[in-house]
Structure 1
Amino acid sequence: MPLKLAGGAISALLCLSLTATLFATVGAEDPYRFFEWNVTYGDIYPLGVRQRGILINGQFPGPDIHSVTNDNLIINVYNSLDEPFLISWNGIQQRHNSFEDGVYGTTCPIPPRRNFTYILQVKDQIGSFYYFPSLAFHKAAGGFGGIRILSRPRIPVPFPDPADDYTVLIGDWYKSNHTTLKAHLDGGKKLPFPDGILINGRGPNQFSLTFEQGKTYRLRISNVGLQNSLNFRIQDHKMKLVEVEGTHTLQTTYSSLDVHVGQSYSVLVTADQPGHDYYIVASSRFTTPVLTTTGILHYSNSGGQVSGPPPGGPTIQIDWSLNQARSIRTNLTASGPRPNPQGSYHYGLINTTKTYILASSAGQVSGKQRYGVNSVSFIPADTPLKLADYFKIPGVFRVGSISDRPTGGGLYLDTSVLGADYRAFVEIIFQNDEDIVQSWHLDGYQFFVVGMDGGTWTVASRNEYNLRDAVARSTVQVYPSSWTAIYVGLDNVGMWNLRTEFWARQYLGQQLYLRVYTASTSIRDEYPIPKNARTCGRASGRRTRPF
């Protein structure tokens, strides 16, 4: 029986009493935080027209998750929609526990009028992230919200505590309901140009922040949109970058910041201007026309309203954005989640054991638009891949069903899974031969962005790599007719989604799964399947083993 909302918290505590034993092996002293979420449809008007949005506890966007390093998050999600639903956690690494990743390759959907309790631990993480719905193009309807992981009190943070801390979710948006957009894609067509840009679910001049003169504030900015890179800026104010997706950065000051789809940044902004109102601006990058939306930064001692045109952003040229991206580096003197400097991990001195080269593919399959990687357009199997792997169900997927190099062949359909060895240290090259900026994300990991440049990657490109203080993150852009190289230490066993963050392309096949495998059955390497895990497809009726 599903948990009832009225008594959900008590029921969840009872049902999860066994859950604690799972985490006894990873630190029973770490706090638990319990969340009760009800997912519903509701009317929203972000661009002035009524739409059917996805609300969490009646909110659009959904509530923030506030946590501290190593916290255990118990999130009971009740699905009040009329269709299956899943939430995924962009950037939360979920150490040794891909069962809870919240994408269809790892987790069975929550049926209508049923619940599922996610069991996550933000092990050895800090920083700014977000969650979002991963099925059925639900992301175009809402259901997303911010995640912040604060450092433990005994771990120093490389900047003073801000006066306040705000989540700022920016993204492109459509006036059409998500069901209309999904039908458009299912019909074999490309997604049209967006209708506007939202800031925290609001259209032009509907979003505002209030600052007090002389104080400094932290903004956690995430691009939760569907396809467009955005530039974020505040009129007459500078932004000091301090953190990117869990990594403290060199504290470089910017007048505006490019935030590509799926990325998250933390900046400090000081209220050091005369006391009146200023524009907050988010605008699309590399598009014609340029979409722009504005919010208001209000000083508590404001002597006047905002006036004049919003400040302009950078031009359409790529070099400006590329140079900004290269300037984002790890702060080697800052402490991380553990009481040792992040820079003590000398990734540049470790030999890579394998190189994967991944190139996007686009084309028609059976008369319909599809996208892929290395000529393979991903199609979901009838069973989540992680469950098939755990229960050893044959015929669901095949490791090596996608090449680790571009094949040059035509686009075709398959359930693409790349194999990788546990504890390998690998190099992944994202080769972009298209005329658009791409954005790629790997679940379960942070990776080092060691290089990016124009043209085609070659072995000689390694001479350009940053092998000292490259930023570690989970989402990275690739500029048009360019490449981006990352290093990844594969220390997290599981089945992990590697995907484009352009959501129409992801929906139409531009994704794959990286199977990080070990023959070990020790819970030090991978946690057992959660006792409350749903089973579906060919895994239906299979019993999960107790904790």
Structure 2
Amino acid sequence: MQKINSIMEGACGNKMGMVFLLWLFAAALVVKAEDPYVFFDWKVTYGKLSPLGVAKDAILINGKLPGPTINSTSNNNIVINVFNELDEPLLFHWNGIQQRKNSWQDGMPGTMCPIMPGTNYTYHYQVKDQIGTHFYFPSTDLHRSAGGYGALTVHSRELIPVPFDWPADEFYIFLSDWYNKGHKELKKTLDDGQTIARPNGLVINAKHGEVGDKMEPLATFEAGKTYRFRVCNVGMRTSINFRFQGHNMVLVEMEGSHTVQNDYDSLDLHTGQCLSVLVTADQEPKDYYLVATSRFFKQQLSTVALISYANGKGAAAAELPPPPPDNTEGIAWSINQFRSFRWNLTASAARPNPQGSYHYGQIEITRTLKLVNTKGEEGGKLRYAINGVSHKDPDTPLKLIEYFEMADKVFKYDLMPDEPAGDASKITVAPNVKNATFRNFVEIIFENHEKVIQSYHINGYSFFAVAIEPGKWSPEKRKNYNLVDATSRHNIQVYPNSWAAVMTTLDNAGLWNVRSEMWERFYLGQQFYFSVLSPARSLRDEYNIPDNQLLCGAVKGKPMPKPYTI
């Protein structure tokens, strides 16, 4: 304080000096100012739900499913104190949130010790430079089948224009398959080496509806107004088509990117994916159905929810809009719909600069990974793999093992080759960690030789979904890539006997999960982790381990490594 007073005394007789001093203080305030905080307290419990007439334990947050909506704005700090009142360890993952420099809070079994029953843990992460429609869910065991999911919305800051008029209201729609068996029984089935097979039905926001059922409206319209629906597929394995009876949809956002605003009468949404549509109340004021139908199943599943007009008169018509074809022609239909999704290059996003200023198609590819999913047995039990390696979590999270420099005692890096090699039916069960070079621009090919659809997610990053085609990938297929306005997203579907190509820059230091969003496959090994280490070991690239980080297994009680510095 004495030093500051001396500076002020010297500056008082000098007008320019006083101006400089005021600027200096203002700059200091700006540097010290933090982005706003949003706080939540969650009590996680079981509760009985029976949307298909069979009661089972569901995972509720503060007594509800779906759980509380996390409403945030770009750059907000999210603080969530989770009280685990289940009888099992628990983690939450923030699907689609990139967690810049902070895989410590990613909520995956490979990065964090679980929250034990009867204890609590406080997550703290920032939605840095992001917008969009996302969701959270429990990532441990088969808890995803029991619920525990909810909305994670990141709105644009006020100074960033949104490329459509502000809607009259917005609603979250969670599409999901549903198993009548409880999550513990499903887990035992998989642990015993068997498949959990197809689900029993579909639900919308954890409720199942049939035409003619008495039900509460999911949304209420006022004639002439436009509404935003944020729609996510939070299911275990089922691709779902959804459509509004009598109303078209305008697609405006997909997993954090504004899209070219095309009209659709129905949309396919694959496991783990989210998008936003605008629906205008331009029909006769009465009731209408939102319809959801399974895709690419031999036995089609469906459910409905009710959309009402205020002061409307008349029940919803019993005749529902038909789904798209569900055969080979239907796959072609769905691929064509994927190709219609384009990035809105004239719109701004989380940053003030236009999204289109990032010319990804002009960046040299430094590495190509060709990833092929396989199914087989190990020790007489069902396993799923990528390039012949089926991931298995060690007793201690991989991120902690790496941070405490114990990796050579627990796992081998790069056990999985960059492309398939040898006998595709041979499966190795082990921790699956790939080394990655910080800031490399990589091309990842997901190739599906099976007869069922796949869905993949990459934590910590958005990628450019540049192509989906039938058949097998080869380098000459690059001529078919969309290198101009492919949507930046974090989840991609791969159709039967087809491939999908994505591109991304690995500029987010940490340990990041790449996984099948078909949760049976994830649980039985169809996943791996990218280890993206910054050579500088600097706080500019990755945060230090949080003070409250849970330690377990082999690292419990160990002296902490030297922290990163600037």
Q: How does the TM-score come out when normalised to structure 2?
A: 0.91
Task: Tell whether the 8 Å contact from 1:383 to 1:396 is kept in structure 2 after alignment.
Answer: no
Deviation at 1:497, TM superposition (A): 0.4
1:72-83 equivalences under 5 Å are 72-83=77-88
Correspondence for 1:327 = 340
1:228-239 equivalences under 5 Å are 228-239=238-249
Give CA deviations for 1:442-494 in whole Å, capped at 9, x if unaligned: 00000000111011000100000010000010000011111100001111001
1:27-38 equivalences under 5 Å are 28-38=33-43
Correspondence for 1:245 = 255
Is residue 2:277 matched to residue 1:263? no
Correspondence for 1:13 = none
Task: Tell whether the 8 Å contact from 1:452 to 1:478 is kept in structure 2 after alignment.
Answer: yes
Is residue 2:411 matched to residue 1:406? no
1:131-530 equivalences under 5 Å are 131-205=136-210, 206=215, 208-316=218-326, 317-393=330-406, 394-409=408-423, 410-530=426-546
Question: How far apart in 2 are the matches of 1:407 and 1:75?
Answer: 44
SS of residue paired to 2:336: helix
Correspondence for 2:7 = none
Deviation at 1:541, TM superposition (A): 1.6
Question: How far apart in 2 are the matches of 1:387 and 1:182?
Answer: 26
The residue identity in structure 2 corresponding to 1:68 is T
Is residue 2:48 matched to residue 1:43? yes
Q: Which runs of 5+ in 1 are unaligned?
A: 1-23
SS of residue paired to 2:467: strand
Correspondence for 1:52 = 57
SS of residue paired to 2:112: coil
Q: Which runs of 5+ in 2 are unaligned?
A: 1-28
Q: 1:392 to 1:250 in 2, by over 3 A?
A: same
Q: 1:128 aligns with which of 126, 133, 142?
A: 133
Question: How far apart in 1 are the matches of 2:163 and 2:340?
Answer: 18
Task: Tell whether the 8 Å contact from 1:374 to 1:408 is kept in structure 2 after alignment.
Answer: no
Q: 1:119 aligns with which of 117, 124, 143?
A: 124
How many positions carry a matched residue from both structures?
524
Question: How far apart in 1 are the matches of 2:38 and 2:154?
Answer: 12
The residue identity in structure 2 corresponding to 1:330 is W
Give CA deviations for 1:162-209 in whole Å, capped at 9, x if unaligned: 000111100100111111111111111111211110101111154622
Deviation at 1:234, TM superposition (A): 0.4
SS of residue paired to 2:409: coil
Identical aligned pairs, as a percentage? 51
Deviation at 1:27, TM superposition (A): 7.2
Question: How far apart in 1 are the matches of 2:33 and 2:435?
Answer: 33
Deviation at 1:396, TM superposition (A): 2.0
Correspondence for 2:67 = 62
Deviation at 1:77, TM superposition (A): 0.4
Task: Tell whether the 8 Å contact from 1:213 to 1:301 is kept in structure 2 after alignment.
Answer: no
Provide runs of 4+ in structure 1 moved above 2 Å: 24-29, 205-208, 542-547
SS of residue paired to 1:320: helix
SS of residue paired to 1:108: coil
The residue identity in structure 2 corresponding to 1:69 is S
The residue identity in structure 1 corresponding to 2:476 is A
Correspondence for 1:10 = none
Deviation at 1:332, TM superposition (A): 0.1
Task: Tell whether the 8 Å contact from 1:361 to 1:371 is kept in structure 2 after alignment.
Answer: yes
Deviation at 1:279, TM superposition (A): 1.0
Deviation at 1:79, TM superposition (A): 0.4
**Higher Rg:** 2
Correspondence for 1:8 = none
Give CA deviations for 1:205-238 in whole Å, capped at 9, x if unaligned: 5462211111100000000000010001001100
Query: Relative to structure 2, which stretch is displaced further, 381-390 or 338-347?
Result: 381-390
Cα RMSD of the aligned pairs, angstroms, is: 1.4
Is residue 2:113 matched to residue 1:99? no
Give CA deviations for 1:280-307 in whole Å, capped at 9, x if unaligned: 1011001111100001111112110112
Question: How far apart in 1 are the matches of 2:360 and 2:412?
Answer: 31
Task: Tell whether the 8 Å contact from 1:531 to 1:546 is kept in structure 2 after alignment.
Answer: no
Deviation at 1:266, TM superposition (A): 0.4
